[in-house]
Each structure stands twice: as structure tokens, then as C-alpha cells.
A and B are shown apart, each in its own frame.
Chain A
């Protein structure tokens, strides 16, 4: 019966994709909605130089990306260039992805980031940019409270600063110390990475293969969550990403939010020069021995599919152009405000000090990559996020949280690895 239905279906389905030899349209699947316009600009620039190549950008984000991508593959319309989030997603599509090892663009990748694009020892993804994870703090607010961020070197000093900020709330005009967007499971996951990444020591493949959720730094993890719970804008689960960045943080209504440099274009979009003047970043003190730094890594990797062989070369050329040409780089560092994920980059060309600092940390020997993108598919939105949210509103105890999270992590990993 099944095979009969398949035959019937095959007869009904007819693909009508005619591709003319001269003109090529590349489909680029983007999962970062905040930089769609800049990608479109790059596409136009490239088209101006190569009139035969059109680049069609499809954007899907805010949690819908994975499902939308799945739908594209299911319907036989695999994109030529895909932005993939982490090894679980790469693994899902590994049979569609080509090896990028010989690409000009791949030669220069920051070594730490390479393992995030590896599947079966093939390099199928190259990092989009270098992202930093830590506490973004508002320099003006810190200054009003008389706090020197550069003096905060361990957890107890951090705690002291938080308590000081809290006690002088009225004077410095903040609603609360933290503006953590508890509504968004993705942000919850990226914060959790502060406590789960160290055990893997930059080996993202190992993190991806791990069957257990690492609780090694759970004590510190709980301390931070309790601190946030106590000093955050309430109700914490109603705080969403956009208001937390564009209102609470931007207007100085909170001192800190746990976001990274992806908020730079938004902030400078609201007020030119804001970032250089006001934005700084502090690490989470996890080991608390003076070696803690902000985490640096790449959440997103670009891959090329082999579904449309005729378009592969054009896709490679476009990616090479994006990663190696000066004109593309200008857009990427000045408009997308990305910190490039390439080594031997002239750091002075970055437009603000924070980006420079991130590049230095990210390319240093002590750089640490976050691993939250290596959690199993669905773990962030369906397990970790909801459990932490429950913890924030005292819905479950820490012990239960640990138990449930571990169980779900193992279960998802086992099913997804097919074991």
C-alpha cells in the first residue's frame, strides 16, 4: 500500500524548475532577521558586479527558523546557501552540505570557531561572525553610581556592585539593576552557556556528542539566577527582547542586560555613537579565579548545499566575495557591525572599542566558545527555557529543575542521534 501511494504521488508531482544557463538565482536562507537589510544590500552590490547572479534572501527567525528550513528541504526547495545554528542543525542537513575546506573564505577562519562547522570531519559550515556573551552594562549608569567596571574582577565584587546599584536605584534613575528578558528562551539558553561551556574547552563537536547536561558549575549558575531573580525588572517573564534592549537598556532604566554585541546595530541605530559612549561588557565569574572572560564564538554558520549542482559555483563565489573583498567587509563591519571571524584582521578598522576588545579576546589563546547552540534541537525552547522560567517564578525547586532538565537533555539527544 505504501509503495503504491508513493508511486501515485510521484506521478502526481512534477517539478517545473527550469534554470536558464545564463542567469542564476541563488537562494540564501537567513536566520538573523536583524541584519536582513544589510544582506540585501550585499546581494545588490554583488548583483551589480555580476549581473548574471541574483541573490534571493529568505529570512526566518525568532524561533521559526528551524521549522521553516525543514519545510524548505521537505518541499524540495533546498536553499543554496543556508545559515545554520549549531551542530544539531548542521547534522540534520549534513547529507546536503558540501565540504568548504578548499574555499578561499575558509582559510582564514579563527581556529577556535572551526569545530562548530564540522560534520564527520568535513568542514561544512563557516562562522558568520564573532559574537561575545556576557553582561552588557550601561557605562553612564555605572558612572552615576560611582562604579568602576574595570575594577570588578570576581563574583563578590560583582555582587557588591549590584547591591550598590540597587540601593541607589532612585538616585541613578533605574527601575532595577537587571533587564533580563525572561520571556525569551533563546536568551535564557545563551546565559546558560556561561556555565556549561567551560567543561568542553572549545571542542564543540564534543559538546554536541555529549549525552549529559554539564552541571559542573551549577553552584555558580544558581547564584547568578537567584541574583537575577532578585534584582530584575518584574515580572521577569513579561520582559521581552526588544523592549529590554530598545527601552530598558537604551534609556538607562536598567544597568545590565545579559546580551552580547548583536545589540550594537540596534543601539547605534537608535542614537549614533551610543555604543562607543555607553556600552561595555562584563564577564560572568564562573570559575571565579581571575581567568573568567566574556565568551566568544559564533552562533551561526554558513553552508552550501549540493541540491542544485549548477548553482554551487556561484554560491561559492558569493561566499568568497563576502569573506574576502574589501567592499563586502565594509558593509559587514560598519553596517552589520559584525566582528569578523577571520584571523589576521586589522583590528583598528573596527568602528568601536568594544568590538575591538571582542576581537582581541576572541582571537586570543584563552578564548572560550559558548556551547548553547550545541544543545539538542528543541532543548532550548521546550525544556531548558521553560524550566528556568518556572524557577524564576518559584514554580519548581533547583533540584527538580536539575532532574527534569537532565532527563529531557538525554532523551532528546538519544532520539536525535538515532541511538
Chain B
């Protein structure tokens, strides 16, 4: 053994300290909180009441289903667009595709708050101008309507995440041996055939990674939601993170909000275990 015990501890203890202090301890306290009626100042134990009330709280249920719906739609769209972009930027190797890669990725650099404001401008002012110029009612009042407001957040999120997911697909596409594709071309295979029979099977692990990466991110979405619609109109676009925030820091129902936080944790955990099982299966 090259590292002695006290040296080992010196290496790992700082990390252990941070993880315990910032994540584990609050998480345990959080589990306790979810069984109290804490309002941030006083609290007493109330058993399962928070969870019982949560499942009858129409606002919570609505924002929960909205989050599920949002995750579902955006996961599909982001992966489609990301894959399409990956195919575009790997189709040739020249200056154009290189700058395309940069452009497609760029929105991913910007923080959620800034993204939300950018798109708020587009959906209000720019869309309004298009509506007026071409007399298209389709472009009117996007953020003051629950369904277009929802799609507004989806569009923003697709714009932000597609470039990121593209990079994952690109790295898997690049890992496909060049001569496999060349051999197929020599055999007279068409581009579509190459895609479906050679590239696509190789991309299976990339799918799992991208799918769950987008899923986890969309479940936790907050800042984009805040800056774009702030939940409006009438809380119809308020997703679960924002619900937790508002309940805890606006209504001061902290125990209740924490119960919602625990439910969010359970959802993310279940999703992650499904992912783990799936990728084990792929490897096996």
C-alpha cells in the first residue's frame, strides 16, 4: 500500500465533509421537514398530512403533470433535433460544418435567466410584429395563453439543449469506424440505408445517455420557466420546481413544499434507475 491510512483520510475527508454538509445533512433534515408543518420559523410534526394534502392539491397535481408532459415532449424534440444536427455537422468535414457546430451549440452557453428574457422578447415583441405584418393570428399573445405558453418553454428548451445533445451524438458517430461506412458505400448502399443499418444501431448508447440527460434536466427546469412565463397565465405554466419555490418562499409553507421536493426526488431516482437498468442491458 503506497498510501497510509492517515494520508488517505487527508485526501478524502475534505470531499466527504462537503458532501455531508451540503447534500446529505440537508437531505435528511428535508425528509424530516416533509412530515412537519414548518413555515420557516416554527414547526411541529404532522405525520403524512403534507403528502395527503399534496395529492388533493389541484395546483400541485397540475404542475406535476405539466412537468411530465413537458419532459416527454421536450425529450423527443431535443433528441430529434440534436440527432439531425449531429448528422449535419458530421456529413462533411469543412469550415461550414465546423461553424455550424459552434452555432448550434451556442445557446447552451447562456444561463436560463438570460435565455428566458431573450425568448420573452421574441414571443412578445417579435411575434407581435409578425402577427401584425402578415395578419397571422397564430403569432398573437403567445405567453398569455396556457397552451402556447407551454410550447414557448418547450421551444426555448429545445433551442438551449439541442446543441448539447448534438455533441453527444457526434462523439458516437465519430466512433463508428470509417471503413465500415466506406465498405457499405462500395457495396452500393444508399445514405438512408447507411443511416438506418449502420449508424443507428451504433447510436443506441447515445440515445440512452441523451434521453435521460434531457429528462433529468427538464424535471429540474426552473430558471427558464421563471424568466419566460413566471408560471403565467394564472399558474398554468408553472412547473414543479417553481411550484416548490413558490410554496416555500412565497407562501412560506416550507414543510409542505419539502414534501413536494421529496416527490420530485423520488421521480428523478426512479427515472435514473430505469436508465441504469437499460444501459446495463445494452452493455450486457
Hey, which chain A residues are within 8 Å of B21, CB to CB? Answer: 5, 8-9
Q: Which of B157-165, B170-178, B250-258 contacts A (4 or more CB under 8 A)?
A: B250-258
Q: Which of A269-277, A282-290, A293-301, A374-382 contacts B (4 or more CB under 8 A)?
A: A374-382
For chain A residues 381-405, which have a beta carbon within 8 Å of chain B? 381-383, 385-387, 389-390, 393, 395, 404
In the assembled complex, A331 has its CB within 8 A of some CB on chain B: no
What's the interface size class on B, roughly? Answer: 20 to 34
Q: Using an 8 Å CB-CB cutoff, how does the interface string of A67-80 with B read, 1 for contact, 0 for none? A: 10010000000000
Report yes or no: B251 in contact with A378, Cβ–Cβ below 8 A.
yes
In the assembled complex, A238 has its CB within 8 A of some CB on chain B: yes
Partner of A92, one of B28, B246, B252: B252
Hey, which chain B residues are within 8 Å of A418, CB to CB? Answer: 37, 39, 42-44
In the assembled complex, A11 has its CB within 8 A of some CB on chain B: no
Hey, which chain A residues are within 8 Å of B255, CB to CB? Answer: 415
Report yes or no: A67 in contact with B250, Cβ–Cβ below 8 A.
yes
Report yes or no: A387 in contact with B144, Cβ–Cβ below 8 A.
no
Report yes or no: B252 in contact with A377, Cβ–Cβ below 8 A.
yes
Alpha-carbon gap, A415 to B247, bound state (A): 11
For chain B residues 1-49, which have a beta carbon within 8 Å of chain A? 20-21, 25, 28-29, 37, 39-44
In the assembled complex, A57 has its CB within 8 A of some CB on chain B: no
The size of the chain A interface, using a CB distance under 8 A, is 35
Partner of B235, one of A1, A376, A379, A382: A382
Report yes or no: A237 in contact with B249, Cβ–Cβ below 8 A.
no
Residue of A nearest to B22 (CB): A5
For chain B residues 236-267, which have a beta carbon within 8 Å of chain A? 246-247, 249-253, 255-256
Q: Assess A395 versus B251: contact at CB under 8 Å? Given A8-B21, A235-B141.
A: no
In the assembled complex, B136 has its CB within 8 A of some CB on chain A: no
In the assembled complex, B91 has its CB within 8 A of some CB on chain A: no
CB distance from A242 to the nearest CB of B (A): 15
CB distance from B246 to the nearest CB of A (A): 6
Hey, which chain B residues are within 8 Å of A5, CB to CB? Answer: 20-21, 25
B interface residues, Cβ below 8 angstroms from A = 20-21, 25, 28-29, 37, 39-44, 53, 58-59, 141, 144, 232-235, 246-247, 249-253, 255-256
The 8 closest A-B pairs by CB, nearest first: A378-B251, A386-B234, A389-B234, A386-B235, A378-B250, A418-B42, A238-B144, A415-B253
A interface residues, Cβ below 8 angstroms from B = 1-2, 5, 8-9, 66-67, 70, 92, 183, 235, 237-238, 376-379, 381-383, 385-387, 389-390, 393, 395, 404, 408, 411-412, 414-416, 418
